Amino acid sequence: MIRADLLITDCRLATMREGGQVYGAIDDGAVLIAGGRIVWAGPRTDLPQHDAAQTDRLDGRWVTPGLIDCHTHLVFGGDRSGEFEQRLGGATYEEIARAGGGIVSSVAATRAASGDDLYASALTRLAGLVATGVTTVEIKSGYGLDHDSELKMLRVARRIGREAGVRVRTSYLGLHAVPPEHRADRAAYVDKAVDEILPAAHAEGLVDAVDAYCEPIAFTTDEVGRLFEKARSLGLPVKLHADQLSDGGGAALAAKYSALSADHVEHTGEAGVRAMAEAGVVAVLLPGAFLMLRETQVPPVDLLRGHGVAMAVATDCNPGTSPVASMTAALNLACVQFRLTPEEALAGATRVAASALGLSAETGTIEPGKAADLAVWDIERPAELCYWLGKPLLARRYLAGMER
């Protein structure tokens, strides 16, 4: 006899387990939940003897794992709609950044904002993610670029995880851009970011992973290597913004440090893909940034498939290059722009995204032992999650077995 808090029944399950049916589908399924975790999931005809305190009948709706947005910059001050207009007028991302715009233009607004202000504005963006089925979100720092402001951002991210009805994983992104006050002495900033800010954030329990932006307009492989060595000494996993604008060896660097993920990877060549495959690094595809920057170099999806590199999909929600606050929009763009199949895209926002955050044992599939983070959809087939743009599809959402 299984004692459960909740039985979910009369539903179709896209378990997203590997192998077996497409989407790991179970046509007439049921899920038993106790203590916030799945204790049984399978065909309703195989439902074991149980005593459930509550039963939710879903009228044949589809249930997936709660979606996971594994790459966001959700916490920031201000916006950069003016730069959007500049890019529409022909300016490139690099030109705007070198002229003092881009990331550093968000720094002043973020530094000036209070923690409460940052929290309130982040919730407006989070609402879009939650409405599209997200139950876990990664949130980066990187718009503070000084000790107090970086820690302020990370504290806000932790507060979101405590109060806003989602699981949150934080990433320290101190090497995002060189702040204006250090433009004449970038080495001094790298020292501060590596040797002062990261240890302080880690000591306060604010960091789940360490990230960096490795590009000619940002930081070199040597500078990022220093940061990753420090992360390794603190026992923290790493991830990397890699090869977005050029093949600068970012994917290979991520592989060298056994990174959880290499993100963007539009310009990654075969050597970098091979290195990722050997190291088990997830490729996180960010089609929103590709769209907004009007890029033409798509990620090497065929190479990634051929070498067995798992592909995640995320919004990259940020003020400059991907003001995208819809996970289903990201799924659509991944299919339309990068030619992922709907099953690949949905796996990329569930099972693979969990791996990109080091959460494979916790979430990402519907199976016993996992957190009962579930999304219930008004659809007739899972491909609709990648098909519709703007149509409300979410019927309900469970976080740790509680409807939220």
Compute CA 386 distance to the chain's CA centroid, rounded to the nearest angstrom.
17
φ and ψ at 220, to 5 degrees?
A: -80, 165
The answer to whether 176 is annotated as binding is: yes
Say how far apart CA 173 and CA 164 lie, in whole Å.
22
Say how far apart CA 249 and CA 272 lie, in whole Å.
7
Number of C-alpha atoms within 13 angstroms, CB side, residue 202?
Answer: 19
Say how far apart CA 343 and CA 311 lie, in whole Å.
11
Alpha helices in 164-286, H assignment, sequence order: 186-192, 198-203, 221-233, 250-256, 270-279
DSSP string, 55-106: EEEEEEEEEEEPEEE-------SS--HHHHHHHHTT--HHHHHHTT-THHHH
Say how far apart CA 231 and CA 238 lie, in whole Å.
7
The answer to whether 264 is annotated as binding is: no
Angle at 345 between CA 138 and CA 157, to 5 degrees: 10
The answer to whether 71 is annotated as binding is: yes
The answer to whether 80 is annotated as binding is: yes
Say how far apart CA 75 and CA 65 lie, in whole Å.
25
Place of tokens 């791996």: 355
The token pair that represents 305 in the structure block:
């498939």
Say how far apart CA 182 and CA 204 lie, in whole Å.
25
With H, G, I as helix, E, B as strand and everything else as coil, classify residue 303: helix
The token pair that represents 391 in the structure block:
């149509």
| Nearby residues of 163 by Cβ (< 8 Å), 6 or more positions away | none
The answer to whether 244 is annotated as binding is: yes
The answer to whether 320 is annotated as binding is: yes
The pairing of strands 25-34 and 6-14 is antiparallel
The answer to whether 73 is annotated as binding is: yes
Say how far apart CA 314 and CA 285 lie, in whole Å.
6
Alpha-carbon distances of 316 from 72, 305, 366, 387, rounded to whole Å: 4, 22, 25, 20
The answer to whether 387 is annotated as binding is: no
Give kind and range of the element (H or E) at residue 335.
helix 327-338
Binding residues for 4-imidazolone-5-propanoate: 80, 143, 176, 244, 321
Binding residues: 71, 73, 80, 143, 176, 241, 244, 316, 318, 320-321
Binding residues for Fe(3+): 71, 73, 241, 316
Binding residues for Zn(2+): 71, 73, 241, 316
Binding residues for N-formimidoyl-L-glutamate: 143, 318, 320
